[in-house]
Structure 1
Amino acid sequence: MRLRITLSTFAAVAALSAFGPLPPQNPATAPNGTATMHGDSASSDTTPYPGPGSGAIHWSRTALASACPTVVIGSDGHPVALCTTIFGQTPTVHLLDPADGADLASLSLPKGSLFGGVYAYLDQSNALVVVDGNDNLLRIGHHLVGGSWTLTVDQSTSLAGALPSGDTVVGLSPGWDGRVWFATTGGVIGTADTATGTVRTVATGEGIENSISTVPGHTAVATDHALYLLGEAPDGAPVVDWRAPYDRGPGRKPGQLSWGTGATPSFFGPGPDGGTQYVTLTDNAAPHENLLVYRVADGPTPVCSTPVLTQYTESGTEDAVIASGSSVFVTNTYGYPYPALPAGAPASVPSSASFTGGMSRVDLNPDGNGCHLVWNSDVESAALPRLSLADGLIHTLTAAGPMGTVGAQTFASYSYATIDPATGAQLSSSWIGLGLLYNPLQMTGTTAPDGTLYQGTETGVLRITRG
């Protein structure tokens, strides 16, 4: 047998060696890269697939009159989007046509809080796992019936009896034993066995506004005060292994949705165990936030606390980081004008700021003790970027124009861009459009195995392909 080696093969190998490995494949999810909002249950924000690239592109838009923060793709190739309608703020699941992005079927869910139910994932059978506004943990399947696609609730497990009145599930991720981990805005962390209906919880007494991450034997949850690493008792009950408080700053920064970290914690590492040695999070320190890295086995003392985005007077983020190999990439959302905030969100400190964008790359030191800043970049990312381990590029959408106040994004200009992870340089920019139809709202895009990028926006989903 003759082995065919191409330049793209060398590029993929180089990318993997520089920034891999991929996280371990969770047996309870669809394939890594497309299973969750952040690509995988470790929340690495990496993908094993090449994106549209730095050349000419084509793009189309699926108008859904909804903000679509989560687009996931199963092994059957069908994109599934979890969106919230602009009018009524109703969570709605959409099945998209992989050929052209058309809306094949939709299913509305009971409404909860504005940001409850944003996080969902595809399980190993390509069903969307999500919690509705009535605190039911659902598995929503898509089925071809009589030549037409339909979305149905194939399984429902009530969490209501385990949650305080008025609490809302905000994040969920599967463990390796099949139980589903979840976290609520009121600080409850729990596991649910959907086969038996058994739900077990532990209360932190702290607010939670971001999703959670799982790798074999470990679950990471960030509250508005601390990072928690948890394991599981024999009966499935959550057990806190360690708690690491962080600097939550003087208040919610402009460009953030809550007071505290804006990030979902991410597992990563360069070692042979699939990149699970470390867990990382950004704090909310002022004037500049810090990247915090912990060794999973040795927490809660951080391996490092490194200031990031220091090219600006102030910095902060509402984005999860990209974490892979020995590198972590942090995006600045300070001053980003969101059209809505969660109920009860405190006033920002300061009251307003202009959006400047920017990214930083931080690497672990070679001996695994300490970290160092590799580069700062001024790229104005308007989406949560994703690193492709196949083409060695960071893919995102950028913004240009007036982004300083709420409503100003109506006049901003948005482009698809690629960034060199080695240097932070922007390699390409392809104009997409002007105004809220194209505003990605700091949401992350998902790349299909064929290289198509699906990017949620304020009003629907963009589909970007090579030209």
Structure 2
Amino acid sequence: MPVRTTRALRALILATVTALCLPATAARSASGDFGPLPPQNPATAANGTATMHGDSASSDTTPYAGPGSGTVHWSRTALASACPTVVIGSDRRPVALCTTIFGRTPTVHLLDPATGADLAALELPKGSLFGGVYAYLDNTDALVVVDGDANLLRIGHHPTAAGWTLTVDQSTPLVASIPSGDSIVGLSPGWDGRVWFATASGVIGTADTSTGSVRTISTGEGVQNSISTVPGHTAVATDHALYLLAEAPDGTPTVEWRAPYDRGPGRKPGQLSWGTGATPSFFGPSTGTEYVTITDNAAPHENLLVYRVAGGPTPVCTTPVLTQYPASGTEDAVIASGRSVFVTNTYGYPYPALPAGAPASVPASAGFDGGLSRVDLDADGNGCHPVWNSDVKSAALPRLSLADGKIYTVTVSGPTGSVGAQTFASYSYATVDPATGAQLSSSWIGLGLLYNPLQMTGTTGADGTLYQGTETGVLRVTRG
């Protein structure tokens, strides 16, 4: 059987098994009317565990119930690395993409699903400080990532007589297709098998890893966040505009529409770049793909912007969020599900390092208040309205479970300035009610940089275990 046919058959089986294994109520939250999940991308592992944001649509939802609001147990895997991406494949073995604290070397780790122990590690050539953050797990359980030499890699994990090993099973060079000194920022697979990518300088392209063919266009605008894909569409947010793209028969990206946004007077404190801090998220009450959303960088309060995918560059919703504070902004993607969007406030969050060339923030500094906002689309889909503002001080990018109707995150209290966040701040596992914004539970984890989640998002496995990347490793949280 040809390789392409085999992979297509595996993808079909994966999608079918995933659908059959989910309870009929999985698309309905216990506390509200959320869902459906976005379509299952045939090129990725199952929705909820395939990408940093759960799925290729970047919904930041999961079909799996988490550890819940009762007693939990936790353990920490020390990796001396910040670990922004934890993904889980069909064999339920977590794969983490991390960057070492010393040397800033991208490293892939295979973790033991029973204990969280580090089973195998593979260092990759390093590039820019925040390059290589975004990766995804494909439908063969291989991690797809770009290394510092601009090679598009598929990294597999394989049993050996001594345990496990991580190997580069496929490498596709992209360096000839991007400007010298540029770096790949975002990755996401299309439905036809090609891999979409975006670079820091605004080059957007597709790569066919079976033939090595690469096709690109340039926007001339910077990109600092990942990209998102649903059937027939790819969304890329530059530091000036949101782009919706399709592709020509040969794979060349084509712009369907471009929607400029208010990028504000400068980079806000608590952001890593000047412009939107959000990866675009597809969502909708019917197919999970009718709308696409980002936040802008307007001052003093950012706006949530929602566009109808088929409607062009005029937003159906523009509303300020997190208005309970003097100012707001975010470096997080939103949670988007059904008719609801949840926005996290990172304004003033003290990152320990910034990307090279990041401009000074405006203002120069600010305290971190945290907070969440929920905004719902109007029933006719032509507007939106705030539902609640919450003072939950989230130090992680939250994730909504469609199985148990809870938002999962890590909160912070105590001194959260640049020194305090690394030494004296207190971090807790927490759940939030998406219907009201009320905090449902809090379980203390620890102090300082060992537990600082750095606004990274957690991933819940099919067994209910939550894996949360931190500044120095990975937390593993299970039901008590």
Q: TM-score range by the shorter chain?
A: over 0.9
The yes-or-no answer on 1:247 pairing with 2:262 is yes
Residue of structure 2 aligned with 1:297, choices 297, 303, 310: 310
Q: Once the 2 structures are TM-superposed, how far is the Cα of residue 410 of structure 1 from its aligned partner?
A: 1.7
CA–CA separation in structure 2 for the residues paired with 1:372 and 1:264 = 22
CA contact (8 A) 1:92 1:107 kept: yes
1:157 equivalent in structure 2? 172
1:283 equivalent in structure 2? 296
Q: Once the 2 structures are TM-superposed, how far is the Cα of residue 299 of structure 1 from its aligned partner?
A: 1.5
Counterpart secondary structure, 2:310: coil
Deviation by residue 1:185-227 (Cα, 9 ceiling, x = unmatched): 0100000000000000000000000000000000000000000
1:441 equivalent in structure 2? 454
TM-score by length of 2: 0.94
The yes-or-no answer on 1:140 pairing with 2:155 is yes
Q: Which runs of 5+ in 2 are unaligned?
A: 1-22
CA–CA separation in structure 2 for the residues paired with 1:14 and 1:255 = 31
The alignment's C-alpha RMSD in Å is: 1.2
CA contact (8 A) 2:456 2:469 kept: yes
CA–CA separation in structure 2 for the residues paired with 1:222 and 1:313 = 26
Residue of structure 2 aligned with 1:23, choices 38, 41, 44: 38
Deviation by residue 1:375-400 (Cα, 9 ceiling, x = unmatched): 00000000000000000000000000
The yes-or-no answer on 1:340 pairing with 2:353 is yes
1:405 equivalent in structure 2? 418
| 1:175-324 alignment, distance < 5 Å | 175-271=190-286, 274-324=287-337
Deviation by residue 1:40-86 (Cα, 9 ceiling, x = unmatched): 00000000000110000000000000000000000110000000000
Residue of structure 1 aligned with 2:370, choices 324, 332, 357: 357
Distance 1:312-1:17 versus aligned 2 partners, 3 A rule: closer
CA–CA separation in structure 2 for the residues paired with 1:147 and 1:325 = 47
CA–CA separation in structure 1 for the residues paired with 2:146 and 2:345 = 29
Q: Supply the AA of the counterpart residue of 1:404.
A: G
Q: Which runs of 5+ in 1 are unaligned?
A: 1-7
Q: Supply the AA of the counterpart residue of 1:370.
A: G
CA–CA separation in structure 2 for the residues paired with 1:66 and 1:178 = 32
CA contact (8 A) 1:402 1:409 kept: no
CA–CA separation in structure 1 for the residues paired with 2:291 and 2:76 = 38
1:455 equivalent in structure 2? 468
CA–CA separation in structure 2 for the residues paired with 1:166 and 1:137 = 16
Q: Once the 2 structures are TM-superposed, how far is the Cα of residue 406 of structure 1 from its aligned partner?
A: 4.9
CA–CA separation in structure 2 for the residues paired with 1:164 and 1:130 = 19
Q: Across the two proteins, how many residue pairs are aligned to each other?
A: 458
Q: Once the 2 structures are TM-superposed, how far is the Cα of residue 9 of structure 1 from its aligned partner?
A: 8.0
Deviation by residue 1:389-446 (Cα, 9 ceiling, x = unmatched): 0000000000001113355432100000000000000000000001100000000000
Deviation by residue 1:88-119 (Cα, 9 ceiling, x = unmatched): 00000000000000000000000000011100
- What is the identity percentage for the equivalent residue pairs of Structure 1 and Structure 2? 84
CA contact (8 A) 2:29 2:401 kept: no
1:116 equivalent in structure 2? 131
Residue of structure 2 aligned with 1:91, choices 97, 106, 118: 106
Q: Once the 2 structures are TM-superposed, how far is the Cα of residue 15 of structure 1 from its aligned partner?
A: 3.7
CA–CA separation in structure 1 for the residues paired with 2:339 and 2:25 = 20
CA–CA separation in structure 2 for the residues paired with 1:71 and 1:343 = 25
1:3 equivalent in structure 2? none
CA contact (8 A) 1:246 1:283 kept: yes
Deviation by residue 1:298-336 (Cα, 9 ceiling, x = unmatched): 120000101000000000000000000000000000000
Deviation by residue 1:321-359 (Cα, 9 ceiling, x = unmatched): 000000000000000000000000000000000001000
CA contact (8 A) 2:450 2:472 kept: yes
CA contact (8 A) 2:37 2:63 kept: yes
CA contact (8 A) 2:31 2:433 kept: no
Counterpart secondary structure, 2:165: strand
CA–CA separation in structure 2 for the residues paired with 1:458 and 1:14 = 31
Q: Once the 2 structures are TM-superposed, how far is the Cα of residue 145 of structure 1 from its aligned partner?
A: 1.4
CA–CA separation in structure 2 for the residues paired with 1:460 and 1:222 = 29
Q: Supply the AA of the counterpart residue of 1:157.
A: T
CA–CA separation in structure 2 for the residues paired with 1:305 and 1:117 = 32
The yes-or-no answer on 1:126 pairing with 2:126 is no
2:396 equivalent in structure 1? 383
CA contact (8 A) 1:81 1:94 kept: yes
Runs of 4+ in 1 over 4 A off after TM superposition: 8-14
Counterpart secondary structure, 2:33: helix
1:100 equivalent in structure 2? 115
CA contact (8 A) 1:57 1:430 kept: yes
1:76 equivalent in structure 2? 91
Distance 1:191-1:139 versus aligned 2 partners, 3 A rule: same
CA–CA separation in structure 1 for the residues paired with 2:423 and 2:61 = 30
Residue of structure 2 aligned with 1:34, choices 43, 49, 61: 49
CA–CA separation in structure 2 for the residues paired with 1:406 and 1:41 = 35
CA–CA separation in structure 2 for the residues paired with 1:204 and 1:348 = 25
Distance 1:200-1:407 versus aligned 2 partners, 3 A rule: farther
CA contact (8 A) 2:51 2:136 kept: yes
Q: Supply the AA of the counterpart residue of 2:445.
A: I
